[in-house]
Amino acid sequence: MAAAEFPLFSSLHPVYRIIFRWALIAVLTVVAFWTSLASLLEESYSGSLIGYVLAIPWLALLAAQGVARRRSGELPIHDRQTDFIIGFMGLVLALLIKGVLVGRYADQYHLIRLDLLAMWLFVVSAAVVLFGLRPVSRFALVWLLLLTVFPLAFRIIVITLGGTRYAAAGVMVVLAAGATALAVGRTRRRGLIGATGTVVVGMGILLVMYVYFPTAPVMAYTQIPPLLATALVAEAMYLYSRRGTAKTPMDRPINPLSAKTILLAVTMVTAFAVALSLVSLPRSTAPPVLRDNALEFGTPLIAPPGWQTTDVTEYDFVKRFFGRTSTLIRQRLLAEEGNPAWDKLSRPRTVIVDSVTTLRPVAFSVYPDNVIYNMTATRTSNGRTIDLGNDVIGEIFTVVDDTLLVTWTKLTWTWRNRSSAQRVTLLTVDNHDADAPFPEPEDALVDNLNTLFTVLIRGNSVVDNNNPNFKDAGMLTVLGRELVAAQLEPARQAS
């Protein structure tokens, strides 16, 4: 609204007018991304690494106030066409990301959280519309810091460093150092001192937590060291620079807002917020998870009658994804007798059983079962649910693997006990020879990102198997039911 058009706001001090516009952006962001924020909080308090996102706005706010105190005078802008054009384009892109791309990556929704990228873009675009492009661009480095709410890069770095809460805290301390440098960096020297001080103090706090609170929640590690370190260092440097002078806050003149007209801006941003709020997030299609406290995890599964375990291998790399106490055990099961329904030559079939156990059940939503296999040259069918008895529901897929030159069939289910959860995956290949290649578990997160970019350009058709042939569905259904019974029945009798 132009100043002359709305006397109530035109008479207010610039500080209150700034607060009003930011409050409007905050409210509309909550309206537009309510379901995303609710999902973020649920994941954060379930032990997921995504909890680091809750600290980013506070770091950005600290950095922004430092940059604002160093702002030079800017000329008032009377032509708002550029602001509206760029802001409109950004709002449209935010709507497309949430409305189209989030659904395209539905299976990886919790891993890459594209809705948080859309939220960042919405906030930036709304600021451009309400405040103007020139004022917003002065905070470019702050916006870059705020972009870290998009978690993909954070996940990759933390997993590369070991995936522990300590690695997550260390990365957050580095981000906090960047925020401190922006906040106090009136000169490069002060910025370097602020960043270095934050790293030293943050790592010191992390060391204290490691020694005295090693089992503290992941949220505590990603919040306390970075926020406390940057607050202490920034405050100390502020007091030192103002020694001998008054410490009155906001004692500098506030320039009048450059962007005067906001009637169209408010209408535009509100309309997009409402449109974004109507876009639903992907819903989980995974079968329900059985909870039975009698189950015991962490050891190889009991082979059912008619099958024998010929090999057992344990992989350590899963600890980077599912926690330091998680396990991945691979068993090779061999049928004691051949079955002509499963092989026309009645050869005994081999089935691979991969079982992942974790104390963080939410991790199974973040990292789908295919994250531990290299899926860069595969096409996967839609899943079909299978009743495995004892209230366990599994899901079966076929995967065409152009690297191994085989088609493999995968049956998977998840169950949990009082404290942990386990995901079991059964694998067969259409090559029934004794030396047939099976997909090997590996840390393939970065490799599989190539598939995400391919889907972005060419669509889901390049990774979908639209004409699946579930050749081994019968065998896997029988074995799956026998495996479930072999684990549950003894456990329930013992309890």
Q: List CB contacts of 283: < 8 A, sequence separation 6 or more.
A: none
Which residues sit opposite 409 in a β-bridge?
398, 428
Q: List CB contacts of 54: < 8 A, sequence separation 6 or more.
A: 40, 44, 219, 223
Are both 242 and 361 inside the same structural domain?
no
Are both 17 and 148 inside the same structural domain?
yes
| Cβ proximity of 277 and 400 under 8 Å | no
Model confidence, pTM: 0.89
Q: Cα torsion for 189, 195, 197, 200, to the nearest 10°? A: -140
| Cβ proximity of 199 and 167 under 8 Å | no
Residue 18 placed within a domain: yes
Are both 357 and 430 inside the same structural domain?
yes
- DSSP for 292-331, please give it: -TT---SSPPPPPTTEEEEEEEEESTTHHHH-TT-EEEEE
Burial (Cβ within 10 Å: 0-12, 13-18, ≥19) of residue 260: middle
Are both 171 and 298 inside the same structural domain?
no
Are both 194 and 91 inside the same structural domain?
yes
Are both 401 and 259 inside the same structural domain?
no
Are both 298 and 259 inside the same structural domain?
no
* CA distance readout (Å), 256 to 18, 75, 77: 10, 10, 11
| Cβ proximity of 336 and 307 under 8 Å | yes
Element (H, E) at 412: strand 406-416
- Biggest CA–CA distance in the chain, Å, is 92
Domain boundary among 217, 243, 277: 277
User: How many separate domains does the chain show?
Assistant: 2
Tokens of 392: 């366990």
Residue 490 placed within a domain: yes
Are both 59 and 207 inside the same structural domain?
yes
Burial (Cβ within 10 Å: 0-12, 13-18, ≥19) of residue 240: exposed
Residue 283 placed within a domain: no
Are both 259 and 324 inside the same structural domain?
no
| Cβ proximity of 354 and 424 under 8 Å | yes
Residue 282 placed within a domain: no
Angle formed by the axes of helices 81-96 and 114-131, to 10°? 170
| Cβ proximity of 468 and 381 under 8 Å | yes
In this structure, are strands 307-315 and 290-291 parallel, antiparallel, or unpaired? unpaired
Report the C-alpha gap between 338 and 341 in whole angstroms: 9
Which residues sit opposite 307 in a β-bridge?
335
Residue 285 placed within a domain: no
Report the C-alpha gap between 419 and 359 in whole angstroms: 6
Q: Interior CA angle at 274 toward 270 and 277, to 5°?
A: 135
Are both 149 and 235 inside the same structural domain?
yes
Dihedral sign for Cα atoms in the order 287, 288, 289, 292: negative
Residue 83 placed within a domain: yes
Task: Note the pLDDT of residue 73.
Answer: 57
| Helix, strand counts (H, E) of the chain | 19, 9
CA neighbor of 27 nearest in space, from 123, 92, 94, 136:
123
| Cβ proximity of 269 and 25 under 8 Å | yes
Task: Note the pLDDT of residue 2.
Answer: 40
* CA distance readout (Å), 337 to 304, 311, 346, 459, 463: 13, 18, 8, 44, 36
Residue with the two structure tokens 């000169």: 187
Q: What is the pLDDT along the chain (495 residues), one digit of tens a residue?
A: 344 344 555 555 667 778 888 999 999 999 999 999 999 999 999 888 999 999 999 999 999 988 888 766 556 555 678 889 999 999 999 999 999 999 888 888 998 999 999 999 999 999 999 988 888 998 999 999 999 999 999 999 999 999 899 999 999 999 999 999 999 988 899 999 999 999 999 999 999 999 999 989 999 999 999 999 999 999 999 888 777 666 565 555 555 555 566 778 889 999 999 999 999 999 877 888 999 998 989 899 999 999 999 999 999 999 999 988 999 999 999 999 999 999 999 999 999 999 999 999 989 989 988 888 988 888 888 889 999 999 999 999 999 988 888 899 999 999 999 889 999 999 999 999 888 899 999 988 877 777 777 776 666 666 777 788 888 999 999 999 999 999 998 767 766
| Cβ proximity of 47 and 215 under 8 Å | no
Report the C-alpha gap between 89 and 354 in whole angstroms: 47
Tell me which residue range forms the domain holding 396: 290-494
Are both 295 and 273 inside the same structural domain?
no
Are both 310 and 241 inside the same structural domain?
no
Residue 284 placed within a domain: no
Domain boundary among 253, 277, 301: 277
Domain boundary among 254, 277, 300: 277
Residue 89 placed within a domain: yes
